[in-house]
Structure 1
């Protein structure tokens, strides 16, 4: 099992994300933290392989936590990988996450499927690294494969769908966004003759790759509606 620490200042959000992680085979949430100091302490005590790290924390921002982790402050031998999960959209924060060595950057609110895809990519990377002999030099093809597994899913269409359909969904979303509007998965399905589940899969792919954003629209009873807009 891959041990995961969930860091978020919001107790309910941390609970939701922990539930997402628990649904993915091979992952176990070993703890949650709601401040930067608690996150560093938990890394040292729980030794997770992966940290889901929020940026907006009450005592220090997530980028500072990331720098402390890379500096070995928590414990010299504790050096988990990090996926940033945040509502922060500014480029300085994104650059800081990249420079700090974050594996990926998920913008809230994101779906279970978006997090699952990143966890599965991490699991593939983790297995590839574990299968390589630690005392042998890496061949170029090994390095290419490892870095390819980190990048997988960053721009290619989701598994099981076509680039042609992705372009159709993109055109519709671009057109609606150019008019100042946004689009739900149901509206996208009606416009493309896709199922609502398939339409949402494409829309979430665009969100995950940074080409679209999603906002929640509240109204009436039931779950809030996810509305998508091309960036």
Structure 2
């Protein structure tokens, strides 16, 4: 896999995420569009994690270039860009998925597992025979049937409570930290964060980083 991000530390974090998923390996890291195209041509990765905001060219231009190249890897877009034009551009460019930064390890793991299952299905089909409609439906519908696994010990009743509180805070224009969620639900901070991260991984919530004084930035959650 090739990781493309202009921020050296972010690229390192994402590479670490990839290394934690069994069967996946980062073969290269690029910090510009030109380096990404060159690395893809030299390394021939099966998958590229592609940022949109690059110092030399737009990531969508890199995506189109990769599609026209001999390497032609699959691409998952990873970006802070939320505008619909960028999302449409990624879809039209053939990206497998679009992850909005900052995302959790679980969210990326889910996409890598989807990529793996997709290619296993493709590999199981006979190359010299026409695909049946059932095969095509499974390939194009695999994403919907591959939901994020719920955290161990997740209770539906508690999830509903966390969801209700998160929805209320978001409706008022705010966001919520794991500590604040724990206070509102009488959960431990660890349990509250587990539920919140599950909602993020399943696409029902988003997380933003709030930078303050010393220490790690605070993760703030909103319902989407």
How many residues in Structure 1 have an aligned counterpart in Structure 2?
Answer: 222
Distance 1:26 1:168 in 2: 36
Query: Which residue is equivalent to 1:17?
Result: 14
Residues 124-170 of structure 1, C-alpha deviations (whole Å, 9 max, x = no match): 112111222211221222222222223445xx564355665544322
Q: Residue 117 of structure 1 is aligned with which of 106, 110, 127?
A: 110
The residue aligned with 1:27 is: 24
Partner of 1:80: 73
Q: CA deviation at 1:180?
A: 2.9
Please, which runs of 5 or more residues in structure 1 have no aligned partner?
none
Alpha-carbon separation, structure 2, partners of 1:168 and 1:98: 34
Shift of the 42–53 alpha-carbon distance from structure 1 to 2, 3 Å rule, reads same
Question: Do the aligned partners of residues 112 and 157 (structure 1) sit closer, same or farther apart at CA in structure 2, a change above 3 Å counting?
Answer: closer
After the TM superposition, which residues 177-188 of structure 1 pair with which residues of structure 2 at under 5 Å, given as runs?
177-188=170-181
Query: SS state of the match for residue 40, structure 1?
Result: helix
| Residue 152 to residue 37, structure 1, CA distance change in 2 (3 Å) | farther
Q: 1:131 aligned to 2:124?
A: yes
Flag as ranges the 4+ runs of structure 1 deviating above 6 A.
none
1:103 and 1:150 in contact (8 A); partners too: no
- Larger CA deviation: 189-198 vs 52-61: 189-198
Give, in angstroms, the shift of residue 227 of structure 1: 0.7
Give 3-state SS (helix, strand or coil) of 1:29's partner. Answer: coil
1:29-63 alpha-carbon deviations (Å, 9 max, x no partner): 00011111111111111111100000001111111
Counterpart CA distance in 1 for 2:136 and 2:156 is 27
Unaligned 5+ runs, structure 2: none
> 1:158–1:201: 8 Å Cα contact kept in structure 2?
no
Question: What is the TM-score of this pair, normalised by structure 2?
Answer: 0.88
